[in-house]
Amino acid sequence: MENTFIIDGMPIPFEPGQNVLQAALAAGIFIPHLCFYPGLKPNGNCKLCTVIINGRHVSACTTLANSGIEVANNTPELNNKRRLMLQMLFVSGNHFCPGCEKSGNCQLQALAYDLEMMTPHFNHFFPKRTIDASHPEAFLDMNRCITCGLCVQASGEVDKKNIFALSGRGMASHVVINTPSGKLGDSDFAMSDKAARVCPVGAILPKRRGYAIPIGERRYDELPISSQTEFLTTRET
């Protein structure tokens, strides 16, 4: 007998061990998220995937699917809260989409479009964060980092290098490089690393490839992120 649960009135099949977010995406149901990546342990950092299960607000990426649960996902209340979280992310860093190489491929930008975020609402923080061009292959712009933790996880869990780490707490939380100098160029980071490919924004970029694909022809330019559940489920792991 097939295992199923309910999302917004629709039955969703799931495999034992899948979380609610994985099962939803596999069934073609989009739940907004930033810090979840296939093949990495869910960390529940961003809270964009918050849903209501049996009356409780929980993270879909850290909640196992179970038969009989009822999930509210695409509701005005939840989408309003998601827009609020996106607005806070935009003003906490320097996210100026027209001047960013990641534009059109950026998950943060794509979610803002999909959830109809029209303005940042809050005053910009304009933080002064590091820009690191010391590595021959990669460029780091921490002004765009949203501290999702994916590069930290990928470097530790998959690459087994532990190049990235999170330091500080709350608003002071930021990504650091585990070298005596704090520079990426003094590490054994490579663009073939998993950590080089998981950043949902433009904080980690390859050098000498800027605008190889014109803006307007990029992944989220062609289709909204909510229509790309298959890609989000089967990204290279």
10-20 in b/e burial notation, b at 16+ Cβ within 10 A?
eebebeeebbb
Say if residues 158 and 105 touch (Cβ distance below 8 Å): no
Q: Find tokens 């990669």 and name the residue.
A: 138
Q: Tell me the C-alpha distance between 229 and 206, whole Å.
A: 26
Say if residues 199 and 184 touch (Cβ distance below 8 Å): no
Residue 234's pLDDT is what?
A: 87
Residue 1's pLDDT is what?
A: 54
Q: Tell me the C-alpha distance between 142 and 115, whole Å.
A: 25
Q: What is the dihedral of CA 33, 51, 92, 90, to 10 degrees?
A: 60
If we measure between CA atoms, which residue out of 199, 204, 177, 203 comes closest to residue 188?
177
Provide the sign of the torsion angle of the four alpha carbons 28, 204, 115, 227, taken in this order: negative
Chunked into runs of 10 residues, the chain (237 residues) has average pLDDT values of: 90 96 97 96 94 96 95 98 96 90 96 95 88 96 94 97 93 92 97 96 94 92 95 81
Q: At what angle do helices 107-114 and 76-92 cross, to 10 degrees?
A: 140
Residue 95, Cβ neighbours under 10 Å: how many? 22
All structural domains of the chain? 4-74 (3.10.20.740), 82-214 (3.30.70.20)
Residue 128's pLDDT is what?
A: 84
State the pTM of this model: 0.94
Give the Å distances, CA to CA, from 81 to 1, 32, 78, 132, 232. Answer: 36, 11, 5, 34, 22
Give φ, ψ of 27 to 5 degrees.
Answer: -90, 5
Residue 126's pLDDT is what?
A: 87
Size of the chain in residues: 237
